[in-house]
């Protein structure tokens, strides 16, 4: 029996399988993908196994992570339902791990007919930085898995980055911040770089200085207990350039744009979770 299977070798399948292959032996890790060449190539790079069918991956593994887009989840669950039934009848322990945005534990239980079967479900939400070991994985608290399973799962994926667990009532709010913020931060970084180019820097210089500015700021803020905008106050000297820039951002609705983006993303999570 292998330890963990990833169904789908796209962005997140790649990021999580990469972390798993650093945390445990790659011989314990299995991948699938509809595009066979893509899955095989990744498995070769990581030194883990590629198998042709989702059924084979599930049968051979204790933990099964579904890494497909929400619109494909229903058909994948319909396809693999008989496999879970077979494994449950044989008394094999299976732990489903959901990373699919917006999809609740009950969806897996209903779609796979898991009531009364020996199948646990852990709902998590990772982000793309798991690929380089700087991701953050939120775990929804609940009674659909055991403490030992959560502990083991964290162990398998410890090379992905940090973890936190949240009650169901806060899980979506947490996941919206950790999973959508990379998109917003990338846009912000590129906008900073555009400003640098506008002022005469080469693109490559502007890109690097914008990213160094963000990286150093984040590291400084993580080490401090101070209010996040305390740093802004430290940087803004009287009538200085930073304060002038802060006023421009305020005039153009910077804060409300960001707050609205996070609020709108939260609404969308509930919609995409209703799989058809």
Ligand X SMILES: NC(=O)c1ccc[n+]([C@@H]2O[C@H](COP(=O)([O-])OP(=O)(O)OC[C@H]3O[C@@H](n4cnc5c(N)ncnc54)[C@H](OP(=O)(O)O)[C@@H]3O)[C@@H](O)[C@H]2O)c1
Q: Confirm or reject binding of residue 9 to ligand X (CB under 6 A).
A: yes
Q: Which of 18, 107, 120, 127 contacts ligand X by CB under 6 A? A: 127
Smaller CB separation from ligand X, 118 or 128? 128
Pairwise CA distance, residues 65 & 111, whole Å: 16
The three-state secondary structure class of 275 is coil
CA 19 to chain centre: 12
| Window of 80-88, 96-104, 191-199, 252-260 that interacts with ligand X by CB under 6 A | 96-104
3 state DSSP class of 136: strand
**Residue closest to 58 by CA, chosen among 101, 107, 16, 8:** 8
**DSSP strand pairing (49-50 vs 2-7):** unpaired
CB of 73 to ligand X, least distance (A): 7
Q: Does 98 bind ligand X (CB under 6 A)?
A: no
Instruction: Tell me how far, at minimum, the Cβ of 89 lies from ligand X, in Å.
Output: 24
Q: Taking contact as CB under 6 A, which single stretch among the options 65-73, 149-157, 187-195, 229-237 is the one that binds ligand X?
A: 65-73
Query: Which residues pair with residue 120 across a beta bridge?
Result: 95
Do 135 and 181 form a contact (C-beta atoms < 8 A)? no
Task: Answer yes or no whether residue 8 interacts with ligand X by CB under 6 A.
Answer: yes
For position 76 contacting ligand X by CB under 6 A, the verdict is: yes
How far apart, in whole angstroms, are the C-alpha atoms of residue 251 and residue 235?
A: 19
Q: Does 99 bind ligand X (CB under 6 A)?
A: yes
Name which of 8 and 23 has its Cβ closer to ligand X: 8
Strands of the 49-50 sheet, one edge to the other: 49-50, 29-32, 2-7, 61-66, 94-98, 119-125, 135-140, 161-166
CA distances (Å), 249 to each of 60, 190, 200, 228, 257, in order? 54, 16, 21, 17, 10
Q: Between 19 and 58, how does the x/- string for binding to ligand X read (CB under 6 A)?
A: -------------xxxx--x---------------x----
Q: Cβ closer to ligand X: 54 or 144?
A: 54
The stretch among 120-128, 135-143, 163-171, 243-251 that binds ligand X (CB under 6 A) is 120-128
Give the interface size with ligand X as a residue count (CB under 6 A): 27
Segment contacting ligand X by CB under 6 A, of 80-88, 89-97, 126-134, 160-168: 126-134
DSSP letter at 143? Answer: S
* Residue 128 engages ligand X in binding (rule: CB under 6 A): yes
Query: Can you give the binding site for ligand X, defined by CB under 6 A?
Result: 7-13, 32-35, 38, 54, 67-70, 72, 76, 99-101, 125-128, 179
């Amino acid at each position: 029996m292998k330890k963990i299977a990833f169904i789908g070798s796209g962005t997140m399948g790649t990021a999580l399988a990469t972390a798993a292959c650093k945390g445990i032996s790659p011989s314990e890790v299995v991948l699938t993908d509809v595009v066979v060449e893509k899955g095989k190539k990744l498995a070769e790079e990581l030194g883990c196994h590629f198998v042709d069918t989702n059924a084979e991956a599930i049968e051979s593994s204790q933990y099964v992570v579904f890494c497909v887009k929400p619109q494909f989840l229903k058909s994948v669950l319909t396809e693999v339902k008989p496999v879970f039934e077979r494994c449950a009848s044989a008394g094999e322990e299976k732990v489903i791990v959901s990373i699919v945005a917006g999809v609740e534990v009950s969806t897996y239980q209903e779609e796979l007919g898991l009531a009364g079967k020996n199948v646990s479900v852990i709902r998590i939400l990772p982000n793309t930085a798991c690929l380089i070991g700087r991701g953050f994985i939120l775990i929804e608290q609940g009674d659909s898995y055991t403490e030992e399973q959560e502990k083991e799962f964290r162990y398998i994926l410890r090379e992905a980055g940090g973890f936190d667990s949240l009650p169901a009532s806060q899980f979506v709010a947490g996941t919206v911040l950790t999973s959508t913020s990379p998109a917003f931060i990338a846009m912000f970084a590129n906008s900073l770089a555009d400003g640098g180019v506008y002022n005469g820097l080469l693109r490559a210089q502007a890109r690097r200085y914008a990213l160094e500015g963000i990286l150093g700021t984040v590291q400084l803020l993580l080490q401090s207990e101070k209010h996040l905008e305390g740093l802004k106050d430290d940087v803004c000297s009287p009538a200085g350039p930073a304060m002038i820039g802060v006023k421009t951002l305020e005039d153009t609705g910077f804060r409300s744009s960001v707050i609205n983006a996070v609020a709108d993303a939260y609404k969308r999570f509930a919609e995409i979770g209703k799989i058809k």
